[in-house]
Chain A
Amino acid sequence: MNPYNYLYLAGLLFTIGAIGVVVRRNAIVIFMCVELMLNAANLAFVTFSRINGTLDGQVTAFFTMVVAACEVVVGLAIIVAIYRSRRSASVDDASLLKR
């Protein structure tokens, strides 16, 4: 099977994730979209690894997973904290920084 198809898939997933981050309001959904983008990148890494016959991409994919796991931990904690204080998980409501 042509490995480039995986790259197209990765690009598609990344685009879906990016559009999701920009257009959705719910923090959880945005978060999931971020994860989608990370995994799209992972898929691209692994694909390149396969195309080039080296292990570099696979190693990087592991690093990405670790970083993503950490990010989920911190990010979810923040989202929960915001939800508790504001009774809302909409990112547009949390816009205090502009003032």
Chain B
Amino acid sequence: MATSTSIVYLIALPLFGAAALLLGGRRTNKWGHLLATSMSAGSFVVGLYQLSLMLDRATEDRAITQKLFTWISVGDFNVDASLLLDQLSICFVLLISGVGTLIHIYSISYMAEDPDRRRFFAYLNLFIAAMLLLVLGDSYLNLYVGWEGVGLASYLLIGFWNKKPAYATASKKAFVMNRVGDMGLSLAIMIAFATLGTTTFAGVSEHAHHASEAAMTAIGIMLLIAAVGKSAQFPLQAWLGDAMAGPTPVSALIHAATMVTAGVYLIVRSNFVFDAAPTAQLLVVIVGAITLLLGAFIGTAKDDIKKALAASTMSQIGYMILGAGLGPAGYAFAIMHLLTHGFFKAGMFLGAGSVMHGMNDEVDMRKFGGLRKFMPITFVTFGLGYLAILGVPPFAGFYSKDLIIETAFDSGGLQGPLLGTITLIGAAITAFYMTRVMILTFTSKARWDEDTHPHESPILMWLPMVILAIGSVSTGYLFTRGDSLENWLSPVFGEHGGHSKEHLIPPLVVSALALLSVSIGVSIAIIKYQRNEIDRIAPANVSIFTRLARRDFGQDAINETLFMRPGQVLTDVLVKSDDKVIDGAVRGIGRMAIGSGAVLRKSQSGFARSYAAFILIGAILMIAGIWVVTQ
């Protein structure tokens, strides 16, 4: 494989930006955001340059590596800090740095009033660097560094306004739940090293065929746990809703477009593991299917616009995970949906941010309404993203989501129709809740607070939204024209790539079914919300299902009863036993010494005559003793 010396600049530029802003302190306040934005843009330019170089090379030479330094060298175990830029990584590099740069530009204006804007941009750059390292690492160990880096950046950015205790708690919650997933990743690395003796993608891929299926299944399940944690999939999904505490650009970049999709990247990157472990693959599919329905159901009941979008993100990533679990047929489509989703969901989050900007940071959709007239650009860009996520042709989601639905139907056996139906139901619910968001925010009657004066956002904010909207419209067509993305990615997935040409149901019928379910969802939403008055306060007398969905199907309650409370009890017991038993013993020894000292001190009266008496008594006793013994 060819080597290169310029891949590292992709990571080095944003990393430098983060370091300069964090170390430079207040001095960089004036121009820090510009530096950070240009570093991110620089990374994007390097990415484009690398893409142009890659396009010039023949298909088999497209992947290149760069060794940075020898990281660990113990006996015959060597880990290099190396980067791998192949067809898969370049997609992610361009998505991360491209969308990242747009969101940097957006944030300049969005965060203009914030006294800590410099720190915000430092964290954003740190995130870009870590995320790029995640997708560029050539081994699980290098990926792990980036994996933890994005976790840190996510934690810092969710808790960016940590003066509010709830936000600080949200960031801690995200960090702790991610930790569960990270445990899976580190265990996967350990199992890979113990059974295969290597942690590089190339090495594991080479050994995957002749390693035992049990080992591959174990690695696969651990990788799935990692993906589930990072991508907020069932059963580790509870953190994503609360992660919306972070500033909206963060939600757009980290919790919609890039970081949460790292789990999909991990599974697709580990395609050789999952191809060798059907059980793990099946689990991936199950997790994806559950999450896509769960997220969609939660999305129907949320009144907080960001939480509705977060639930939607969870559901859409469910689609991707499902696609990635369908094996070689689905990998490329999972990535395609990931990329198109990156555009339309980031666009919609920025739109939500723009709405909040104009509405005094209100997030409750029940207090929006009629914003179409006041925020035309936001309405149009959000609307294009809306059409894209629904999967209306010719918008991006139509291509990517339909391909996943199609692949689900084609996955064979009983599984095929079942998964296909689930994805169709998911599409219908997606249409319902997204239409609800549109109606509540933009088209229904105004229900604002008295003192709000909605207005369109400045150009620095709407320009990124427009670019992302163009992406939401065009990417699907571009990626599928002549199966371009599928062919582009196929070298990464080995020999057996490409999707089968035999269909259970003809693609056209699948598209028609998908459109039918979407139109059902849209119609229900229009009947339910466009026609009726919408209460400013969420009605209380709703079905048990709505109540459950509002409370995220008790995900927090379950986590609390199953893990938090027992953990607290265990902690209490441990603290008490530490306090009473261990500390008690130590303190007891001290108290014993003090007590015996107090008793003995009484004999030390200071009177010479009492000492003399003691000596006398002692002497008499000794003599008596000797007399008794010798008698």
Residues of A within 8 A of B (CB): 18, 21-25, 30, 91-92, 94-99
Contact = CB atoms under 8 A, between A and B. Distances in A.
Contacts of B453: none
Nearest to A99: B606
23 contacts: A18-B616, A21-B609, A21-B612, A21-B616, A22-B612, A22-B613, A23-B609, A24-B609, A25-B609, A30-B608, A91-B607, A91-B608, A92-B608, A94-B608, A95-B605, A95-B606, A95-B608, A96-B606, A97-B604, A97-B606, A98-B604, A98-B605, A98-B607
A13 B609 CA distance: 19
Contacts of B609: 21-25, 30, 91-92
A28 to B, nearest CB: 13
A92 B612 contact: no
B605 A22 contact: no
Contacts of B607: 91-92, 95, 98
Contacts of A98: 604-607
Interface string B586-613: 0000000000000000001111110011
Contacts of B613: 22
A96 B616 CA distance: 22
Nearest to A95: B606
Interface in B608-629: 608-609, 612-613, 616
Interface of B is mostly: helix
A62 to B, nearest CB: 24
Contacts of A92: 607-609
A23 B606 CA distance: 15
Contacts of A25: 609
Contacts of A99: 606
Contacts of B606: 95-99
Interface in B564-606: 604-606
Nearest to A94: B608
| CB-based closest 7 A-B pairs | A98-B606, A95-B606, A91-B608, A97-B606, A22-B613, A21-B612, A95-B607
Contacts of A94: 608
A26 B471 CA distance: 111
A20 to B, nearest CB: 10
Contacts of A18: 616
A19 to B, nearest CB: 9
A22 B606 CA distance: 14
A22 B616 contact: yes
A79 to B, nearest CB: 12
Interface string B438-479: 000000000000000000000000000000000000000000
A40 to B, nearest CB: 13
Contacts of A30: 608-609, 612
A25 B613 CA distance: 13
A64 B613 CA distance: 22
Nearest to B620: A18
A11 B125 CA distance: 100
A24 B608 CA distance: 11
Nearest to B601: A98
A35 to B, nearest CB: 14
Contacts of A97: 604, 606
Most buried by B among A21, A24, A25, A30: A21
Nearest to B612: A21
Contacts of A91: 607-609
Contacts of B604: 97-98
Contacts of B605: 95, 98
A21 B609 CA distance: 7
Contacts of A23: 609
B336 to A, nearest CB: 90
A94 B604 CA distance: 14
A15 to B, nearest CB: 10
Given A22-B612, A95-B608, A97-B604, 18 more contacts: A18-B616, A22-B609, A22-B613, A23-B609, A25-B609, A30-B608, A30-B612, A91-B607, A91-B608, A91-B609, A92-B609, A95-B605, A95-B606, A95-B607, A96-B606, A97-B606, A98-B606, A98-B607
A18 to B, nearest CB: 5
A64 to B, nearest CB: 17
B137 to A, nearest CB: 73
Contacts of A96: 606
Nearest to B619: A18
A25 B609 CA distance: 8
B377 to A, nearest CB: 88
B627 to A, nearest CB: 14
Contacts of B608: 30, 91-92, 94-95
A45 to B, nearest CB: 17
